[in-house]
A and B are shown apart, each in its own frame.
Chain A
């Protein structure tokens, strides 16, 4: 699957913040430890507050190994 990669600082700046009614950002690391958000978070994040999302690129996400 694909997602939008964030810097660690970007990820922490949005973590737990609301992007839509009853919906909150949840950046997660990929297998390399890079932080990602995904389609709904990207699309529904209000603009212009999250205009900077336009600088993010859709990138392949590989999930970390599960337990």
Chain B
């Protein structure tokens, strides 16, 4: 009696997904498998690891597509436009939320009682702030950057002030405020020039940038993609539009905590010297990513 052995024959090779190196480095580091059968709990609605890989990869590709030759985050050493901080806040832990996609060597660390979950990093308004590892001392303007606040560069507004961009997503704040670097620019040693203050559940969506003029006590806060345009002449002035109230915690020049953060960060992003077109493109990429993660309103 003969035996028949059926052998499956595969007609044609299957496609293999290719991911950007930044995608792989990020998601492998934070421990999210590229697995379509694993529903990853660190998202508001559980989505699979494979979906996260695709979303993040699309995000990375979009960032690169908005790059300009010789600029942008792919060329940290010489770029005139640097994407310095990009924390998509995926993963639900302090370590995962500290991963800087733009520069993995400069991760953020968290001080105080943050809550890290699928929504991002949540401050408590009492003792939370965060710090990253980069000191921009290699740049002539001696920017010093914290996950939370940066020093103004002293440049003229039109000539290349530091753009700090953030996306506010459904009760989430993502932005820094600015501290003045006195020894470089001769400005008064002003304590934190807060961008805005956020307390409570006021929500809006959109991107906004803060640019500080090199004039003591003068600040310009401008929405680029959001729904409001407003300005304030001093850090103590309460904006007339309540939607502008948000802040993030940091340290003042005496290393004392000021404005401890209260709110949820779902995506923290700082770019220096970005053009408006880049800013808009990167904002659209962040929105797409956070939408795919089901973290948009």
Contact = CB atoms under 8 A, between A and B. Distances in A.
B260 interface: yes
Interface string A7-34: 0000000001000111111111000000
B124 A1 contact: yes
B257 A67 contact: no
Interface string A23-54: 11111100000001111111000000000000
A28 B126 contact: yes
A39 B125 CA distance: 12
B219 interface: no
B115 A40 contact: yes
A41 B111 CA distance: 9
A23 B121 CA distance: 12
B248 interface: no
Contacts, number: 70
A22 B109 contact: yes
B204 interface: no
Given A66-B258, A66-B259, A67-B191, A24 B126 contact: no
Interface residues on A, range: 20 to 34
Given A40-B114, A67-B191, A67-B258, A24 B127 contact: no
B125 A1 contact: yes
Contacts of B257: 26, 28
Nearest to B256: A28
Interface in B245-272: 257-260
Contacts of B129: 26
A37 B108 CA distance: 21
Contacts of A3: 126
A22 B94 contact: yes
B112 A21 contact: no
Given A21-B93, A28-B127, 9 more contacts: A1-B124, A16-B111, A21-B95, A22-B95, A22-B108, A26-B127, A26-B257, A38-B126, A66-B258
**8 closest cross-chain pairs (CB), A and B:** A38-B113, A40-B113, A26-B112, A26-B111, A22-B94, A28-B127, A21-B95, A23-B94
